[in-house]
Amino acid sequence: MLNYESFLRIPEWRFVDESISARNRSALESFAMDDTLCHLVGQRMSIPTVRTWVHDETVVLGIQDHRLPYVTEAISMLENTGYKTLVRNSGGLAVVLDEGILNISLVFSEQNAAIDISAGYEIMLAFVQRLFPEAEGQIKAYEIVGSYCPGSYDLSIGGRKFAGISQRRLRQGIAVQVYLCVEGSGAERAELIRRLYELGLQGEQTKFVYPHIQPEVMASLTELLGIPLTVADVVIRVQKLLHTYANNVFIGGLSEEEIDLYAFYLNRVFERNQKMLTKK
């Protein structure tokens, strides 16, 4: 059996921490950042990179969510509740971002060898399992029915979901992304998405089958592990874990040359989102 953790044991990692600096910025900037890193790592202009990021109250809608029959009313509800909304131009359904959710991106290059989609998921699963040794043997990957943005690589403990994994592929680079519900109430976040679908559908039948959200199947790691875990704690764990994998861990943001590339991807992401908002 392939040891997926071997993909993480490399001579050098780059670590970009935006768990504080990105909070009050648009989540679109994070999409642009991962596209930039995909390009840089994919083209061997940067070593493999781990990025941690957090955004204030935002609901990221998938393309199908934006096609809800009453999406305007649903978005108004979210905004009245204090959440910004945006649409990502990729797969998946609605997810919640807030100060208690840590997102982690692992960015690899496929120039030397291909990393298929299932391998990408398994690498992130191995990474998350190592991050939380107190949950050894308990973190499972399978679809949690009733969760928001359900998928075959939902991560759960005791049948309650705390994380979901996605991937972005660009210019021979792969960004494997996980959102970790670290603090707060997983059920309260799920209730918000339940209301989104309730108001967005209003009982209408649609070709696309939206998930029937059951808030009780979602929880935070604080709730599941019974320890006072914070986002800041997990960021420290990420950095320490990287040091166990690599001889060198380089910490820092983008260089001047890299910022020019980021500006290109940022403009592209904002243009795509604007197009998404003008059509259903």
Catalytic residue among 71, 107, 149, 246: 149
Tell me phi and psi for residue 9, to 5 degrees: -90, 90
- Residue 64: exposure state from Cβ atoms within 10 A (0-12, 13-18, ≥19): middle
Alpha-carbon gap, residue 198 to 213, rounded angstroms: 9
CB neighbour list of residue 166: distance below 8 Å, 6 or more residues apart = 90, 91, 92, 151, 176, 177, 178
CA 216/CA 233 separation, integer angstroms: 25
80: part of which helix (H) or strand (E)? helix 71-80
Q: Which helix (H) or strand (E) holds 162?
A: strand 160-170
- CA torsion 147-152-156-158 (nearest 10°) is 90
What's the CA gap between 116 and 275, in Å, rounded? 30
**Is 181 in the active site?**
no
The one-letter code for the residue type at 53 is W
Give the active site residues.
149
